[in-house]
Amino acid sequence: MKISNYANLALLGLKVSFVDMKHQVDYNGTQDHYCDVVTNVLGLAAAILGDKFYRWIDPAGAIVLAIYTIINWSGTVWENAISLVGQSAPPEMLQKLTYHVIRHHPQIKRIDTVRAYALGVLYFVEVDIELPEDLPLKEAHAIGETLQIRIEELAEVERAFVHPVKLPRSQPWTNLFLWTNLPG
């Protein structure tokens, strides 16, 4: 056996071992290994058939492999492009985050916003919580920081940003500042 045959057997073994993995990186690795195996086997078959029978089989096999590779990876490129532009998390993930925020601390009066968006494989999370107005800054900071740590411990989360606010976001932030001396 040649080295490329051993490599194909190893790639096939990796394909089989990654079949039940749920993580996107593992899936892309599996897809890459599978594409390598198919490309190597079909390329070798086209080369042998072209050498033994008709010379046009080898370049035709190369064209078929090029089309196969383009079609195969176009879907992967599209999926990854969507995850890189900040696609929103599915409702189940937002519900899970909301549940963790609600159960975090009794001083949280209201959840104003829960956002999660994909940047790569994992999610970036933004949470705005409303705390009592008379809560000392030190306690508000501790609640926000411990909530941030709790959210970042979830397997699906890359980074979390927790914003303890005293006013609900439904109130326009522009009303907080009165610009009276603007040049006109």
pLDDT tens by residue, 20-64: 555 544 555 666 777 777 788 888 888 888 888 888 888 888 898
User: How confident is the model at residue 184, as a pLDDT?
Assistant: 44
The pLDDT score that the predictor gives to residue 78 is 80
Give pLDDT, residue 75. Answer: 78
Q: pTM of the full predicted structure?
A: 0.56
Cα–Cα nearest to 61, from 38, 78, 36, 43: 43
Query: CA-to-CA distance for 111 and 113, rounded, in angstroms?
Result: 6
Which pLDDT belongs to residue 17? Answer: 61
The pLDDT assigned to 181 comes to 45
Q: What is the pLDDT of residue 133?
A: 84
Query: Mean pLDDT in runs of 10 for the chain (184 residues)?
Result: 63 60 53 75 83 86 87 80 79 92 89 87 90 88 93 92 73 45 45
* Token duo for residue 156: 């699906």
Please give the order of strands across the beta sheet that includes 110-118. 110-118, 123-130, 157-165
